[in-house]
Chains A and B, each alone.
Chain A
Amino acid sequence: MKQVLNIAWKDIKHMLRDSTGLIINLAAPLLLTLAVAFALGGLGSSSGDSGLKNIPVLVVNHDSGQYGAELVQFLTPSAADIDAYPDLQQIKDLLAVAVTSDEAGARQQVDDSKAAAVVIIPAGFSDSILPTGGTTGSQTQSVVQVYGDSSQQLRASIAESVVQGIINQMVAGTVAGQVAIQQLITSGRLPVAQAAQQAPSIVQPLVQNTLSTSLVTLDRQIEGATTASGGFDWLTYMAPSMAVLYLMFAMSQAARTILQEKQMGTLPRMLVSPTSRSAVLGGKLLGAYADGLLLMVVLILGGKLLFNVSYGAILPAVLFTLALVAAATAWGMAEAAFARSSAQANQVGWIINLSFAALAGNFVPRTSFPAWMQQIGYISPNAWGIETYGKLIHGAGLAEVWPAIAILLAMAVLLFVVSSFIFRRRFA
């Protein structure tokens, strides 16, 4: 065991002293996260301090009723509105809304990326919230359209979320109001003839204070974006994705040092010391594994500090990371075991890791891939890493992630056994 730790510690020291390698393995994934997230959807994160402010949004109101006007008012709150409803300050900070009557012109501005989205309120919107007759029988579904810029998916999704939230409040208030009116009529305190006149004054306060499910739907036209609440957060996706990608490359590199040591003559020198082949291989494995863990700890903490991406509960995140690094190390060892030289292992490593990145969706979510391709992706630790870190980020617990941990550990054991067998034969 002493020799195993000796070899592992030597490899850790080697990694820490390789300043170029450290920069590549630690800074590059963080920078790439930033660059890809910026390129695909603008910068953003699950927090409010991500630099997302004054998102340019246009509103076209074809509705002549009260609720269309109120929706516009919510989106463009005045100082008095904010005094009355302080929560509206967030919308004012987040969105820079301009009202226009030219729908075609507004769509063109989105197409030209001059605006992130245009919210189109259809004629009859107010009627769908609260029919003029004051009853639910004539209520029809209204379609508010959010037309978004596909190059600004994150921003468009945020605009969509805000509109959705406001509409939900309106609809919920309407439902509550209708129930209240129905009860007043039934109890005889509100004559049926006056119900239509009194309804708005009863419903309006409720509209502004309640939340419920949607009766008014959004017609969402943002290519490639998800429908998850809060929109697609590229930083939240890219931070674990890049960490996993670089882990795979780093583990290929670490495992390759076995072949480099063979070429340098230090591996044969170890093998003529009174140290067993298993201990030498174990030391190299442990060193690579420790390098991988160190890398993931730094990248996870870096993701938290720089992008405010939180990897959820500590225990499942730690257990999953231990399993993920084991699987990544095992893949690296397998690449080195089958290669005849360090240069060949390097080529094999690149091919495997780039293929894994493509299959696992390291750059583009694999949910957009064909089903069969999504299944093939599970051969890679990358797919498990991206998917499971995604779940952890969204609050999953150990119960949801243990199957992934078990599969990665099984993958690691299988590859370790195969690699060890090959190495022992080669160095026998």
Chain B
Amino acid sequence: MNAILETHELKKNYGDLQAVKGISFAIEQGEIFSLLGPNGAGKTTTISMLSTLLAPTSGDATIGGYSITRNPMQVRRLIGVVPQEIALYDDLSGRENLFFWGRMYGMNEKQLSHRVDEVLEQIGLVDKSKAAVKTYSGGMKRRLNIGVGLLHGPQIIFMDEPTVGIDPQSRRNILDAVKDLNRQGMTVLYTTHYMEEAAELSNRVGIIDHGQMIACGTQHELVQMVGQHETLRLHLNDETCGEPLAQALLNVPGVVQASSLDHQVVVMVNSAEETLAPAITQANALNIKIHSVEMQEPNLEAVFLHLTGRALRD
């Protein structure tokens, strides 16, 4: 396999703030590579640099052999970008939006007309293609947003948290669409802070936190980093009780790590079944009410907890 994208110590500073602190990774042709990390980890900054929107402070990356710093125009022809926000014109129809963006990629009218029909078919918006985008549902806008990224037939598509703020059904449609694209040979760089999405879609995952790539590999490789540890997730009624409970649970035998996040305490344990009872006892002793409990096999969440001591934010 050949790497279509390679980054070398990519850094981005905003004044004194180091948003990305020297990231290096490679994406093979035809794979789905996810950048998984909490909000503010540096995922969008990384994608912005790779799509030539932001100039790196130092380091470089190549896409299809072209440098993002020295050959940005060639890079832009090879990539498709699906931004996190719906970057469309509401007063234009879906078809007009596709024509507009196609022309921005220098496509000629005949080629564009044919391609617009293909993409509308692909994203399931043929029937609504002449309606103004402002009349679309959120899910339809998301699909069109993806369609714009596909229009010029890129070699790799960057999808920056495309499921943020949408309903479960639309989310499902988008995940299926990403898998379909990949089956057709499209290489995908996908960023998310949803562990389940990264787990479902990706051939390989790069875990990013505080601007650094803290782990990278297949899901199997990453999970092996935490051994056979399981995850016990305790949902609390009161958010303020999370931290004292997490501290208390660290003294329970079999608990490897514990971290609180919003209304949850995420606990990495040797055996979830064996730790459940003492964990509830600790909660009762602190007069903390547990709303519900989840037990999970070793997963990316556990990896993140293992590597950072913190839970991934949902």
Chain A residues within CB distance 8 Å of chain B: 2-3, 6-7, 10, 13-14, 17-18, 264-266, 268-276, 428
| Closest Cβ neighbor of A11 among chain B residues | B89
CA distance A344 to B106 in the complex (A): 34
Asked if residues A6 and B100 are in contact (CB atoms below 8 Å), the reply is yes
**29 A-B pairs (CB sep. < 8 Å):** A2-B103, A3-B103, A3-B104, A6-B103, A6-B104, A7-B104, A10-B89, A10-B100, A13-B92, A14-B89, A18-B91, A264-B85, A264-B87, A266-B87, A268-B53, A268-B83, A268-B87, A269-B81, A269-B87, A269-B101, A270-B104, A271-B52, A272-B51, A272-B52, A273-B104, A273-B105, A274-B73, A274-B77, A274-B106
Please name all residues of chain A whose beta carbon is closer than 8 Å to the beta carbon of B53 when the two chains form the complex: 268, 271-272
CA distance A266 to B85 in the complex (A): 9
CA distance A44 to B295 in the complex (A): 85
Instruction: Please list the 5 inter-chain residue pairs (A to B) with the smallest Cβ-Cβ separation, ordered nearest first.
Output: A265-B87, A265-B85, A273-B104, A6-B103, A269-B87
Complex interface bits, B45-86 against A, C-beta within 8 A gives 1, otherwise 0: 000100111010000000000000000010011010101111
| Closest Cβ neighbor of A268 among chain B residues | B53
Please name all residues of chain B whose beta carbon is closer than 8 Å to the beta carbon of A271 when the two chains form the complex: 52-53
Q: How far is the CB of A323 from chain B (nearest CB, A)?
A: 30
Please name all residues of chain A whose beta carbon is closer than 8 Å to the beta carbon of B48 when the two chains form the complex: 268
CA distance A264 to B87 in the complex (A): 6
Interface hub of B86, B100, B105 (most chain A Cβ within 10 A): B100
Chain B residues within CB distance 8 Å of chain A: 48, 51-53, 55, 73, 76-77, 79, 81, 83-89, 91-92, 96, 100-101, 103-106, 148
Asked if residues B106 and A2 are in contact (CB atoms below 8 Å), the reply is yes
Query: How many Cβ-Cβ contacts under 8 Å join chain A to chain B?
Result: 61
Asked if residues A275 and B91 are in contact (CB atoms below 8 Å), the reply is no
| Closest Cβ neighbor of B103 among chain A residues | A6
Asked if residues A272 and B55 are in contact (CB atoms below 8 Å), the reply is no
Q: How far is the CB of B143 from chain A (nearest CB, A)?
A: 16
Do A428 and B79 contact each other (CB < 8 Å), given the known contacts A264-B87, A270-B104? no
Asked if residues B92 and A10 are in contact (CB atoms below 8 Å), the reply is yes
Please name all residues of chain A whose beta carbon is closer than 8 Å to the beta carbon of B84 when the two chains form the complex: 265
Q: How far is the CB of B62 from chain A (nearest CB, A)?
A: 17
Q: How far is the CB of B88 from chain A (nearest CB, A)?
A: 7
Interface hub of A6, A18, A270, A273 (most chain B Cβ within 10 A): A273
| Closest Cβ neighbor of B88 among chain A residues | A266
Please name all residues of chain B whose beta carbon is closer than 8 Å to the beta carbon of A276 when the two chains form the complex: 73
Q: Contact check: which of B55, B96, B101 meets A273 at CB < 8 Å? A: B101
Please name all residues of chain B whose beta carbon is closer than 8 Å to the beta carbon of A14 when the two chains form the complex: 89, 91-92
Q: How far is the CB of A201 from chain B (nearest CB, A)?
A: 80
CA distance A275 to B72 in the complex (A): 10
Asked if residues B89 and A272 are in contact (CB atoms below 8 Å), the reply is no
Q: Contact check: which of B83, B103, B105 meets A265 at CB < 8 Å? A: B83
CA distance A2 to B104 in the complex (A): 8
| Closest Cβ neighbor of B149 among chain A residues | A269
Q: How far is the CB of A1 from chain B (nearest CB, A)?
A: 11
Please name all residues of chain B whose beta carbon is closer than 8 Å to the beta carbon of A275 when the two chains form the complex: 104
Asked if residues B89 and A274 are in contact (CB atoms below 8 Å), the reply is no
CA distance A13 to B100 in the complex (A): 12
Q: How far is the CB of B205 from chain A (nearest CB, A)?
A: 24
Please name all residues of chain A whose beta carbon is closer than 8 Å to the beta carbon of B52 when the two chains form the complex: 271-272
Asked if residues B76 and A269 are in contact (CB atoms below 8 Å), the reply is no
CA distance A13 to B89 in the complex (A): 11
Q: How far is the CB of B278 from chain A (nearest CB, A)?
A: 49
CA distance A17 to B48 in the complex (A): 32
